[in-house]
């Protein structure tokens, strides 16, 4: 027996997955497990418009509100995503008794990072990282700076400082998924993909580029 655990990208529920993407595995005799791990949510506008519309006023007060909101969701939400991914592997390896070395964890975007971190905990498990990043904090720094700049329109050269602030905030609240660091611990077959025109995870931030 052989199994596949597929982990979605953010705002990509398993119900939205193209059936043909699953049939390819089924045709090869794989047992396929799809799940919606905790943390999936609607995509936030990269310029912070949606954040402001959700009740955070512009200016310093809005920025402080954003920090409080992020701080309240610090380690627990990241931890629950990892727990859910691990629960999927436990179901395949313990409930269905599929050996880890005959199991593939494949994920896209943030799911790709979760896939790498999960596969690293199961000797022999294979992993596929599709259109994913090397470190979550770098993506948060890139896009979080747009939100901060939208809330604090300042005349000085804000972009570099905003990126540093957003990245430090991500690290301070424990919101880091380091796929680059975990890649070497994966013992099974592994591959990575990237999308050259990806606006969300630019190639310099990708796991493909980091490795």
pLDDT-based confidence at residue 53 (cuts at 50, 70, 90)? very low
SS3 category, 131: coil
The pTM assigned to this predicted structure is 0.78
Average pLDDT, integer, range 127-131: 96
Average pLDDT, integer, range 170-192: 89
Length of the chain: 211
Sign for the CA dihedral angle at 8, 176, 138, 166 comes to positive
pLDDT-based confidence at residue 112 (cuts at 50, 70, 90)? very high
CA distance 186 to 142: 28
126-130 and 103-108: which strand pairing? parallel
Q: Do 125 and 119 form a contact (C-beta atoms < 8 A)?
A: yes
Range among 8-22, 55-69, 109-123, 166-180 rated most confident: 109-123
Query: What does the pLDDT read at residue 45?
Result: 40
Least reliable range by pLDDT among 114-118, 164-168, 180-184: 164-168
Task: Judge whether residue 42 has pLDDT over 60.
Answer: no
Q: Which two tokens stand for residue 72?
A: 């309240």
CA distance 54 to 182: 35
Query: What does the pLDDT read at residue 47?
Result: 40
pLDDT-based confidence at residue 197 (cuts at 50, 70, 90)? confident
Task: Give the tens place of pLDDT for each residue, 62-90.
Answer: 556 656 666 665 555 677 889 999 999 99
Q: Which two tokens stand for residue 130?
A: 């599709």
Average pLDDT, the chain: 80
pLDDT-based confidence at residue 13 (cuts at 50, 70, 90)? confident
Query: What does the pLDDT read at residue 50?
Result: 40
Query: What does the pLDDT read at residue 35?
Result: 84
Q: Do 6 and 32 form a contact (C-beta atoms < 8 A)?
A: yes
CA distance 195 to 137: 19
Query: What does the pLDDT read at residue 65?
Result: 62
Query: What does the pLDDT read at residue 151?
Result: 60
């Amino acid at each position: 027996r052989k199994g596949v655990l597929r982990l979605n990208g953010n705002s990509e529920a398993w119900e939205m997955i193209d059936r043909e993407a699953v049939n390819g595995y089924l045709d090869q005799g794989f047992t396929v497990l799809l799940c919606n791990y905790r943390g999936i949510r609607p995509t936030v506008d990269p310029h912070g418009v949606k954040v402001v519309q959700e009740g955070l006023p512009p200016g310093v007060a809005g920025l402080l509100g954003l920090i409080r909101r992020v701080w309240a969701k610090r380690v627990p939400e990241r931890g629950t995503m990892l727990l859910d991914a691990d629960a999927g592997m436990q179901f395949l390896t313990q409930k269905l008794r599929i050996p880890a070395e005959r199991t593939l964890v494949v994920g896209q975007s943030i799911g790709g990072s979760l896939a790498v971190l999960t596969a690293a905990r199961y000797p022999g498990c294979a992993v596929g990282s599709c259109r994913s990043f090397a470190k979550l904090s770098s993506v948060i720094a890139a896009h979080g700076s747009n939100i901060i700049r939208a809330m604090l329109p300042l005349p000085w050269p804000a972009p570099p400082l905003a990126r540093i602030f957003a990245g430090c905030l991500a690290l301070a609240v424990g919101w880091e998924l380091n796929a680059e660091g975990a890649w070497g611990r994966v013992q099974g077959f592994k591959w990575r993909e990237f999308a050259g025109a990806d606006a969300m995870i630019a190639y310099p931030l990708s796991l493909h580029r980091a490795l």
